[in-house]
Amino acid sequence: MCFLRKYQWLIIFLVPFYAQAIDVNYCVDPDWMPYEAMVNGQHKGISKEYKQLFQENSTINFNRIPAKSWNEVTEFLKAGKCELTLMLNRSSEREQYLDFTMPYFFGPNVLVTTNNRPYVQNISAAAGMKIGVVKGYRLVSYMERFHPNLQVTLLDSELNGLLAVADGEIDVYVGSLLSITSKLKQHNIANLKINGWVAIQDELRVGVIKSRSAELLPILNKVIDQIPVQVHNDILNRWSNTLVVTETDYTLVRMITLGAVLLLLILGWRFQISRKVTATLTKKNAQLQKMSAKLEESNRQLEYISYHDNLTGLYNRHYFLTTFNHLFNDMQRQSHDASLMLIDIDFFKQINDKYGHNAGDEALTHLGKLLKKAIRSGDVPARWGGEEFVVLMPSTTENDVKQVAERLIQNIESYQFPIIAKLTVSIGVSQFRADDTIKTWLERTDKALYQAKEQGRNRIRYSA
């Protein structure tokens, strides 16, 4: 039994030996590190690691079709030459020729300016400035729809956008935080900084041409749904901490050294001046490296904070609603089973009044940990607000969610919370219906939670 439990995730993905392989032609953006790129003719980056997971845990056999640019990838997808691309955002324009998996990788978009420009904060504050974005990226349609009055310049690549900012040709470049950080390191562009955030974040998915989506999407979604959270985190950590090593050109250094030797032969006292200058430069370089490391750490923290609740570590309400909206659209199209669970701490106000708000915060933190242990890796838990929590459970039957809810109740009842020792929760549960909207589904779940509280609390009630 222990052996089976230890290798449960591997067993889920074992493909029968007689399964027939499915050949798929795919394309990647050749210059979008760390997400994906072509390096010396080899597919590299985050998408390669996920491609490996898809290939190992399904019958899909991936065959890469070379493309010179992201625009060429788009052309190949429209023409059917490429049948799939591994990492892109969903947009209304792309939905005309692609269908999409559920999102499996998330990241913020940012504004980049020169170091001397004051804090821009967000895209609205950039009105009146020249803004650059790569042609064909989803951010183009986002700005056309929500910020039609902005002065947008379309660029061929992200590197061209960053260089255009550095050279003063445009004021702001808009793009992905991870890929921008990689480009700044790789090309040693020192006079730029992250200077604001864009409301829309990257929710990267696999895009499949419509003629093959019915065949491929169920397979890919199943693999995505079963990837453990730790595997996602390991991939992110490997690529967000990647250092780009460049070869130093020592020609100029040799020339300066030779000149210094000649000068020392003539004027020995200049040696002291040169040594002082060198020491000063070394110190300044060390300070710059330290500042760069602090900036990278700050960017990572901001990326995490943008979609997590700072107290419980669960997703925040904004992230949950964004993910809920996308998954809901998938459920409506494909009629998947799914469940929604609302959890409310019983008599939480009395806990705060009796023990203080610090005790209440401790209770929320520990309850968040118990909630994450009770649910599955593919579920989406979030702090809904105050003492309320919500969990979206894709591909979940009524029996599945009943087991999770009962397990959560039992774990909370037996848990020793700091200071207050004991607390209980009330839970409302409902299943997805074909005629549901997001609003009606949430309302039915909230009604079930209300019934649980009215009937004595510390219990589960299911929506009729």
Residues identified as active-site: 387
Question: Tokens representing 275?
Answer: 């040594």
Is the Cβ–Cβ distance between 4 and 11 less than 8 Å? Answer: yes
Question: Tokens representing 393?
Answer: 């459970």
Chain centre to alpha carbon of residue 383: 18
Rounded to whole angstroms, what are the CA distances from 305 to 239, 254, 312, 318? 19, 47, 12, 11
Residue 102's Cβ-count burial label (10 Å; 0-12, 13-18, 19+) is buried
- Residue-level length of the chain: 464
d(CA 10, CA 210) in angstroms, rounded, equals 30
- Tell me the residue type at 445: T
Mention every residue, 6+ apart, whose C-beta is less than 8 A from residue 219.
22, 58, 59, 60
- Residue 305 half-sphere exposure toward CB, CA atoms < 13 A: 8
The C-alpha angle with vertex 412 and arms to 410 and 413, in degrees rounded to 5, equals: 65
